[in-house]
Structure 1
Amino acid sequence: MFNLPETNFHFCGDEYIYAEISRDMRAESNFKALAVTEELRRRNIPGIIDIVSSNASYLVRYNPDVISARDLVDYLKEIDFTKSDPAALGLSVRMVEIPIWYDDPITREYSRRFSSRHQEPKLSNFDYVMKLNGFTDKEAFIDRHSSAPYLITMVGFLPGTAWHFPLGVKPDEIIQAPKYKSPRTDTPERSVAIGGAFNVIYPVKGTGSYQLIGMSAVPVVDLSNQLIDLKDTSFLARPGDIWKYRPVNESEYTSIEEEVQSGRYRYKMKEIDLSPMEYMAKGKEYMYELMGDF
């Protein structure tokens, strides 16, 4: 029988309760954080101001003049307990395809520009990540990285930034890399990067310290409201969604960019029902079942 981790609750000042499910990153912990925070929003408990799920925890902000910290913790414990049995959990999420141009000239140029801040100044970020993870063949690296589905575990930092974690991958097969020794002062918009075991796509230009390995042909933020699939929120990422990378060459990358700029691009996505219980029991096999011919 599988059980989800037991949660520890901490008071943070007079307005926050921090719920720590686990200290290490586990997909199971994130499933629980998503389920609990979804149920909290559904109940609409008076006094709760904001609810934020994170990689393996969640944070609740409340008004102490409306609800006491002790009463709120009792609510949280009751909900948390009901969400500790993976057999009783079901998450309705989206699977979204992200076309990626790996080892592109844009991120290679940024690697060169900020080489003095890097662990190995003579290597591009892409080559550095390959080397760290024992790859000598570029196509083998791209195949490994793009074959895994990635769970959106947290959204934040800059609006639209989504941390995503590989699903169904054995711990020793997860592609990982340390951050830069000193952050870049500039990072290209839509660049794909790795820090630790997490991936991100930078939504806008700005500072950054993750290792750059490619460029997304599609935006994760659309403030112009040109793209039909982002009209409601402007942001692509939703906690709990699953992103699947698809490698593209320069020609297809350029073609997709043109579709985006004209507002004609439609994201390839589908709604799926994700069972934490089946994931914990079957791992990679279950993820391939969900992906099908996606």
Structure 2
Amino acid sequence: MFNLPETHFHFGGDEYIYGEISRDMRIESNFKALAVTNELRRRELSGIIDIVSANSSYLVRYNPDMISARDLLDCLKEIDLTKSDPRKLHVSVRIIEIPAWYDDPVSRECSYRFRNRHPEPELSNFDFVMKVNNFTDKEAFIEYHSGTPYFITMVGFLPGTAWHFPLGQEPSEVLKAPKYHSPRTETPERGIGLGGAFNVIYPVSGPGSYQLIGRAAVPVFDPKRQLADLKETSFLARPGDIWKYRAVNESQYHQITSEVEAGAYRFKIKKMIFSPLEYIEKGKRYIQELMEGF
């Protein structure tokens, strides 16, 4: 029976324990990081200050005056062991649609403005990503990118930034792109970036080094909580969510942004249970079954 990767634990000073599941990015490692950290939150142990899951690891901050490092480590090892069998894991997820205007003029202008920091300054970011992934047809690239569901593996950096990794693809099928030689000092809000195998949507204007391939029509960070789907929290992303892009044209993009500004936009969201075991066993076929009707 397939088990999830073994975790290696490290102490970080007197207040942190770091659980390293794998050093390379493996979606199976992320399943385990989510399962362990969710269970640890559920237990509400006295002395735990913060719990953060990452792409293939997790970090726990604790108060050593309230819980000893060894007691916490024993607890983590016990939880970690129970979350190593994919047969026992079921992740509650939300599939969320992200309308996206690919190769939009704002992203293109930004890529040319910082061309002196780029590996190929004569190309826009969008054209560069097409080139390094052997695409010659723009529509084919857009269909490929928007046809892939992405799993939210980690949230951090700027408020609401969500790293999302493609599901149901072999390593040779994954879109990849090198980052800028030196980060941009500015990135447009809601810019869609690709760096390595990870996608992000920049929640606010700020620095960044991922290649810009388009712009989301919807916010992923709403500090005023004006939208009905963001009333409980300002952030759209939750680790374990699945985002699915939908390509829109210019007029559709502006129609959606108008709805957002009026506070009337509703996200297309579907809640379901994700089975890591079925994903490991069936791969792309399981993802296709999961996305049916969405």
TM tier relative to shorter chain: over 0.9
1:275-294 correspondence to structure 2 within 5 Å: 275-294=275-294
Query: Could you say what secondary structure the match of 1:97 adopts?
Result: strand
Name segments (4+ residues, structure 1) moved above 3 Å. Answer: none
Query: Could you say what secondary structure the match of 1:150 adopts?
Result: strand
- 1:130 corresponds to: 130
Give the whole-Å Cα distance in 2 for the aligned partners of 1:251 and 1:35: 41
Query: Could you say what secondary structure the match of 1:100 adopts?
Result: strand
2:176 corresponds to 1:176: yes
- 1:70 corresponds to: 70
Give the whole-Å Cα distance in 2 for the aligned partners of 1:141 and 1:59: 37
- 2:120 corresponds to: 120
Aligned residue-pair number: 294
Deviation of 1:122 after TM superposition, in Å, equals: 0.5
- 1:270 corresponds to: 270
- 1:87 corresponds to: 87
Query: Could you say what secondary structure the match of 1:280 adopts?
Result: helix
- 1:238 corresponds to: 238
- 1:26 corresponds to: 26
Give the whole-Å Cα distance in 2 for the aligned partners of 1:142 and 1:159: 27
Query: Could you say what secondary structure the match of 2:106 adopts?
Result: helix
Query: Could you say what secondary structure the match of 1:239 adopts?
Result: coil
Give the whole-Å Cα distance in 1 for the aligned partners of 2:220 and 2:7: 32
Deviation of 1:234 after TM superposition, in Å, equals: 1.0
- Supply the AA of the counterpart residue of 1:200: V
1:91-170 correspondence to structure 2 within 5 Å: 91-170=91-170
Query: Could you say what secondary structure the match of 2:39 adopts?
Result: helix
Query: Could you say what secondary structure the match of 1:189 adopts?
Result: coil
Give the whole-Å Cα distance in 1 for the aligned partners of 2:225 and 2:66: 38
Give the whole-Å Cα distance in 1 for the aligned partners of 2:197 and 2:272: 24
TM-score normalised per structure 2? 0.99
RMSD of aligned alpha carbons? 0.6
1:208-227 correspondence to structure 2 within 5 Å: 208-227=208-227
Deviation of 1:225 after TM superposition, in Å, equals: 1.6
- 1:197 corresponds to: 197
Query: Could you say what secondary structure the match of 2:165 adopts?
Result: strand
- Post-superposition Cα deviations, 1:191-215, rounded to whole Å, max 9, x if no partner, equal 0000100000000001111000000
Give the whole-Å Cα distance in 2 for the aligned partners of 1:122 and 1:158: 29
Deviation of 1:92 after TM superposition, in Å, equals: 0.6
Give the whole-Å Cα distance in 1 for the aligned partners of 2:132 and 2:285: 27
Give the whole-Å Cα distance in 1 for the aligned partners of 2:97 and 2:274: 17
Structure 1 alignment gaps of length 5 or more: none
Give the whole-Å Cα distance in 2 for the aligned partners of 1:284 and 1:113: 39
Give the whole-Å Cα distance in 2 for the aligned partners of 1:91 and 1:118: 39
Deviation of 1:265 after TM superposition, in Å, equals: 0.2
Query: Could you say what secondary structure the match of 2:206 adopts?
Result: coil
Query: Could you say what secondary structure the match of 2:126 adopts?
Result: helix
Deviation of 1:291 after TM superposition, in Å, equals: 0.8
- Supply the AA of the counterpart residue of 1:89: L
TM-score normalised per structure 1? 0.99
- Supply the AA of the counterpart residue of 1:92: S
- Supply the AA of the counterpart residue of 2:279: Y
Give the whole-Å Cα distance in 2 for the aligned partners of 1:104 and 1:22: 37
- Post-superposition Cα deviations, 1:152-199, rounded to whole Å, max 9, x if no partner, equal 000001110000000101100100011100111110000000010000
Query: Could you say what secondary structure the match of 1:206 adopts?
Result: coil
- 2:257 corresponds to: 257
Query: Could you say what secondary structure the match of 2:235 adopts?
Result: coil
Question: Aligned residues: percent identity?
Answer: 72
Give the whole-Å Cα distance in 2 for the aligned partners of 1:80 and 1:226: 39
2:33 corresponds to 1:8: no
